[in-house]
């Protein structure tokens, strides 16, 4: 990895952005190949983003750069370890933020609490090699073509959109969970315009149909402590 080019926040932001999109494509294709079904694997309600890949990809590149990893074996080992750590931490982080679990590898052998598994850790190792040898150089060239006087405006605009997207996603998932699982639905008899707007959005935009299609693999724990799909509750 070239040491003369310092990785900046600007670079990390675009690593996150691009790998979030590429990760979504990979996840969608993997789902189709293994199950024959095309379904949404998005992490945000708006846009083609799977932020788990974005965060892990950016973290991996940063760590690999700091450790000056160049040889394939070292890239694989470091990617295997730190990719797994990042995925494990993100699993807890997303569950803490959204209150719902996005993935569970308990159906695979050699998994740790269903949050990471040996086979996906292996993929992180392979991905590390791909990131350093192929993806990073290409992305760096693309990012460096953005004129310095426009970088901050573009980065800030996309960042604000992603923050709003994340907030709306949390709002939508909580609404969906309350309606389907807890049987709570937002209703107000108030004449307050803001309250009426909130009710309209929750009841007409965050519909069960929209949310189940966008996030078909959301899981919660039932009273027995077992994880169940929200869609399975919806279909009863």
User: 110, 117 in Cβ contact below 8 A?
Assistant: yes
CA triple 100-103-107, angle to 5 deg:
130
Is a pLDDT exceeding 60 seen at residue 212? yes
Quick one: how far is CA 232 from the chain centroid? 22
Banded pLDDT at 7 (limits 50, 70, 90): confident
Give tens-digit pLDDT for 180-191.
877 777 777 778
- Whole-number Å distance between alpha carbons of 220 and 234: 13
Beta strands in 35-178 (DSSP E): 111-112, 116-117
For residue range 215-235, what is the model confidence (pLDDT) as tens digits?
Answer: 988 887 766 667 777 888 877
Phi, psi of 112 (to 5 degrees): -115, 105
For residue 206 the two structure tokens come to 């965050």
User: Percentage of residues in the chain with pLDDT exceeding 70?
Assistant: 94
In Å, how far are 58, 128, 179 from 214, measured between CA atoms?
25, 29, 16
Give the pLDDT band (50/70/90) at residue 1: very low
Token pair of 12 as six digits: 């990390």
Measure the CA–CA gap between 39 and 37, rounded to whole angstroms.
6
Q: Residue 25 has what pLDDT?
A: 92
Residue-range domain boundaries for the chain:
9-147, 149-234
- Assess whether pLDDT exceeds 90 at residue 207: yes
pLDDT at residue 2, as a whole number: 45
Output the pLDDT for position 88: 92
Which of 49, 62, 56 minimizes the C-alpha distance to 89?
56
Q: Would you tell me the crossing angle of helices 136-144 and 9-35 to the nearest 10 degrees?
A: 130
| Tokens 């929200």 belong to residue | 230
Going by their DSSP bridges, the two strands 219-221 and 111-112 should be labelled as: unpaired
Q: What's the CA gap between 142 and 144, in Å, rounded?
A: 6
**69-115 residue pLDDT tens:** 888 999 999 999 998 998 999 888 888 877 777 788 888 889 998 89
Please name the residues in contact with 201: beta carbons below 8 A apart, sequence gap of 6 or more: none
Exposure of 181 by Cβ count < 10 A (0-12 exposed, 13-18 middle, 19+ buried)?
middle
Using DSSP's 3-state secondary structure scheme, residue 8 falls into coil
How much is the pLDDT for 20? 93
pLDDT, average across residues 32-53 = 90
Q: Please tell me the predicted confidence (pLDDT) of residue 121.
A: 93
Element at 96 (helix H, strand E): helix 72-98
pLDDT score for 223: 67
pLDDT at residue 56, rounded to an integer: 86
**DSSP-derived 3-state class of residue 51:** helix
Can you tell me the distance from the alpha carbon of 165 to that of 142, in angstroms, rounded to the nearest whole number?
Answer: 25
134-177 per-position pLDDT tens digit: 888 888 888 888 888 888 899 999 999 999 999 999 999 989 98
How many residues comprise the chain? 236
Predicted confidence at residue 118, as pLDDT, reads 94
Per-residue pLDDT for 3 more than 70?
no
Mean pLDDT score of the chain, rounded to an integer? 87
Query: pLDDT confidence of 46, banded at 50, 70, 90?
Result: very high
């Amino acid at each position: 990895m070239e040491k003369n080019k310092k990785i900046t926040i600007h670079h990390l932001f675009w690593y996150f952005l691009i790998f979030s999109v590429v990760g979504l494509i990979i996840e969608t294709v993997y789902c189709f190949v293994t199950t024959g079904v095309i379904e949404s694997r998005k992490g945000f309600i708006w846009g083609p983003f799977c932020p788990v890949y974005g965060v892990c990809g950016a973290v991996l590149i940063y760590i690999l750069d700091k450790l000056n990893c160049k040889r394939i074996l070292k890239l694989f080992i470091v990617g295997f370890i730190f990719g797994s750590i990042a995925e494990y931490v993100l699993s807890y982080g997303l569950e803490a933020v959204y209150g719902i679990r996005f993935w569970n590898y308990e159906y695979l052998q050699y998994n740790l609490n269903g949050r990471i598994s040996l086979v996906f850790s292996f993929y992180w190792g392979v991905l590390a090699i791909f990131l350093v040898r192929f993806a990073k150089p290409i992305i760096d060239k693309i990012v460096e073509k953005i004129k310095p006087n426009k970088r901050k405006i573009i980065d800030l605009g996309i960042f604000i959109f992603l923050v709003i997207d994340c907030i709306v996603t949390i709002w939508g998932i909580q609404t969906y969970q309350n309606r389907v699982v807890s049987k709570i639905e937002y209703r107000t008899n108030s004449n307050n315009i803001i309250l009426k707007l909130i009710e309209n959005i929750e009841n007409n935009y965050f519909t069960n149909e929209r949310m189940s299609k966008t996030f078909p693999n959301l899981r919660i724990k039932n009273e027995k402590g077992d994880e169940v799909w929200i869609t399975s509750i919806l279909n009863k």
